[in-house]
Amino acid sequence: MSAPPRESGRESGRESGRGMGGATGGATGGGTRDVPPRGPFVSGALARFAAAGIVLFARLVTAVRGIWDEGPPDGGRRVYFANHSSHGDFVLLWTVLPPRARARTRPVAASDYWLASALRRFIGQDVFRAVLIERERGPGGDDPIDTMTRALDAGDSLILFPEGTRNTGSTALLPFRSGLYRLAAARPDVALVPVWIDNLNRVLPKGERVPIPLVCTVTFGAALELGAGEPKAAFLERATAALLALAPGTSIEPSDDTPFDGPAP
């Protein structure tokens, strides 16, 4: 299985040429994939049923709890950026959101994975309404940042994994790729909310098929904004620090000797 939800962030250095203005302009370039097709009524009911089932299953296995200082997120437009260590990350984040916010929150995910079969297409497009982006952009392909800004402009919130790939090592976070910065530059008015998803990598380690039930938490931090003229490196460093600050073990007393991360074999 390849990594499903995925942030597109392409190599650094690109954004200087791309800049902030290109987003809306690029929107006219088509891109059928980010707008999920409105299925017939039956498919919609099935999608809602599947969504309820997935939420119930996630709660049964992980008893997941959302932790937020300033109350649960309302229906407002946000970009949630989270650590990525498991296939189920966006499901967990999505599960703890209040239903109203959940209905308007879409994960950003790789189209090659989520369009690969009918079942994945149903789950990705109808259930989670994923914003699908292309990992390998061919000539004439859509710019992933344009795809994401179109979803934001339509009033939706996004779930983004700025590490760009699943972190299966023992470090807490991989270096962020540039996508978060480019999205922030394209839509500076959208709040960027760091979200730490804890323990899910232990529930289903790479290569295992049966999940073990463990208590997971999803911690929401204070929203970030891109400062005027803030350089990319400084912004990404700030965003990384904001996300890491939410990880248990960094905020709990020192007696807590990182019980949540077994050594990687």
Tell whether residue 212 is a contact of another protein (CB under 8 A): yes
Q: What string marks each residue from 7 to 46 as x (binds another protein by CB under 8 A) or -?
A: ----------------------------------------
Minimum distance from CB of 6 to another protein (Å)? Answer: 23
Q: Least separation, in Å, of the C-beta of 2 and another protein?
A: 20
Kindly tell me which of 62 and 125 has the beta carbon lying closer to another protein: 62
Residue count, binding to another protein (CB under 8 A)? 21
- CA-CA distance, 262 to 260, in Å (whole number)? 6
Selected from 13, 99, 138, 265, the binder of another protein by CB under 8 A is: 265
User: CB under 8 A: which stretch of 74-82, 91-99, 111-119, 205-213 binds another protein?
Assistant: 205-213
| Interaction site with another protein (CB under 8 A) | 63, 65, 199, 202, 205, 208, 210, 212-215, 252-253, 255-257, 259, 262-265
